[in-house]
With several copies, the nearest count.
Chain A
Amino acid sequence: MGISWQVIQQSLPVFEKGLVLTLWLSLIGIIGAIIVGLVCSLLQYFKVPVLHQIVSVYVEVSRNTPLLVQLFFLYYAFPVFGFKMNAEMCGIVGLIFLGGSYMAEGFTGGFNGVSKTQVETGKAIGLTRGQLARYVVFPQGFALSVPALAANIIFLIKETSIFTVIAIPELTNTALDLIGMYYRSNEYLLVLVVGYAIILIPLSILLTILEKRVRYGAFGN
């Protein structure tokens, strides 16, 4: 079976909608995940009583269960008890729930990566705990965590492909749906792969440049 350009061309408008949706959901999910992750890692860094234990539990539960099961839970199981969100909302909440812990780990890893001598030096010139965090640990830790954050961003975008199981018409769902209706798997899967490449290749190049910039800014190498 060859590839029909005509089939591809006809499908492009539908795929475009899927692509836009994928981008939107990813964007909101990633921003949410970064905010949640930052808050969680701060709670952990400052060892805020009670909250930091809660954060630990959240991080473990979120990191050690599949997004697909998390989504099934949100979408199919929660409404049984009266919590109902629409599919897009479920998707975003799921992505933030999952991504928040990944981002938190990324930030925490960066903060912990700041060398002990830097922290001690900060103390030695009389910085308070807050000042130490503000002027030493966060700027350097953030630079150290950028590679992990970048990897998480790519990871989360790819995870949106799982939204197909809760009927969100993003890229993957679009392809599977078209295949079910018109049976042109070759063409639709090709467009699908290209669709992800269009999002992810430029993004990953951008992130690599950003990593280098930030690293240079903070450490000069």
Chain B
Amino acid sequence: MQMAEQILSVAHLEKSYQKRHVLHDINFSIAKGEVVALLGPSGSGKSTLIRCLNGLEEYQQGTLTFNGEEVTPTEKNWQQLRQKIGMVFQSYDLFPNLTVLDNILLGPVKVQHQSREEAKATAEKLLDQVGLREYENSYPRQLSGGQKQRIAIVRALALNPELMLFDEVTASLDPEMVRGVLNIITELAQDSNMTMIVVTHEMNFAKQIADRVLFLEDGKILEQTPGKQFFEDPQTDRAKAFLESMDF
């Protein structure tokens, strides 16, 4: 791991909800173009960690460094940073009161002050990529779950982020819809070389895209292992047990 191109580093991160200590001394970095899969049992703190990286949760201690600069965790700073750090959630979180296109353009036009034409051109290119160009004037309610989730990804990409965070984006989809969404993320990783951190319960998918796996349990990083190796020969027994439990 070459220090030079680290896009994000996390050092000694600690996070509690009231009395509950949920993240313990988290340390890791992610380099440009790298894909990190964040795995671990339910409740181990994956969502909490990824939300800290986007300023959606406050943390008590530790430092984040983004593109070589330490992040001062103020609301104002985070608002700026979020244009560089895109995030997609489990729920199909499109704004129901806006059309697909307006959902996508909101960030580029209002936050980044791009001209509507310019932003629209980008948006349509992305919509073409995910095969949903024809829905640009539809409302979210007219789309299936899988389609909504693909639009949500486009919406995050439209800001042209340097790092993407995905939190179980297929968890609430019908099984048949899952593949379409995962394909897009895979393309993004492989063709566009996007840097990303992915939380998922789809082991086959993780195996396919992860350059590195962070295995979390009880808020601690139990192991950080290159992707291939993790799935063939995890270093800890706990990870082994976890992998076994994931296929019936």
Contacts and interface: CB of A to CB of B under 8 A. Distances in A.
Contacts of A221: 141
Contact of B107 (A118, A126, A217): A126
B96 A127 contact: no
A135 B95 contact: yes
B79 interface: yes
A126 B96 contact: no
Contact of B141 (A117, A128, A143, A219): A219
B96 A125 contact: no
Interface in A57-113: none
A218 B141 CA distance: 10
B27 interface: no
B156 A128 contact: no
Contact of B111 (A118, A128, A129): A128
Contacts of A127: 79, 106-107, 110-111
Contact of A121 (B89, B139, B159): B89
Contacts of A220: 96, 139-142
B95 A136 contact: yes
A140 interface: yes
A120 interface: yes
Which of A124, A217, A219, A221 counts the most chain B CB atoms within 10 A?
A124
Interface string B85-113: 01101010111111000000011001110
B212 interface: no
B79 A125 contact: no
A126 B89 contact: no
Contact of B93 (A118, A128, A129): A118
B95 A121 contact: yes
Interface string A116-159: 01101111111111010001100110010000000000000000
B71 interface: no
Given A117-B89, A220-B140, A140 B159 contact: no
Contacts, number: 76
A125 B141 contact: no
Report, as a range, how many residues of chain A touch the other chain.
20 to 34
B75 interface: yes
B155 interface: yes
B163 to A, nearest CB: 12
Interface string B133-166: 0000001111000000000100110010000000
A57 B101 CA distance: 43
A123 B89 contact: no
B56 interface: yes
B111 A124 contact: no
Contacts of A218: 96-97
A128 to B, nearest CB: 5
Contact of A126 (B56, B98, B111): B111
B56 A123 contact: yes
Which of A120, A126, A127, A136 counts the most chain B CB atoms within 10 A?
A126
A121 B148 CA distance: 13
Given A124-B54, A124-B82, A219 B96 contact: yes
A117 B96 contact: no
Interface of B: 54-56, 75, 78-80, 82-83, 86-87, 89, 91, 93-98, 106-107, 110-112, 139-142, 152, 155-156, 159
Q: Which 8 A-B pairs have the closest CB atoms?
A: A220-B141, A125-B107, A121-B93, A126-B83, A124-B87, A126-B111, A126-B82, A218-B97
18 contacts: A122-B95, A123-B55, A123-B56, A124-B87, A124-B89, A125-B86, A125-B106, A126-B80, A126-B82, A126-B112, A126-B159, A127-B110, A127-B111, A129-B79, A135-B95, A135-B98, A140-B96, A220-B140
Given A121-B94, A124-B156, A125-B82, 15 more contacts: A121-B93, A121-B95, A124-B87, A125-B83, A125-B111, A126-B79, A126-B80, A126-B159, A127-B106, A131-B110, A136-B95, A139-B97, A140-B95, A220-B96, A221-B141
Interface of A: 117-118, 120-129, 131, 135-136, 139-140, 143, 217-221
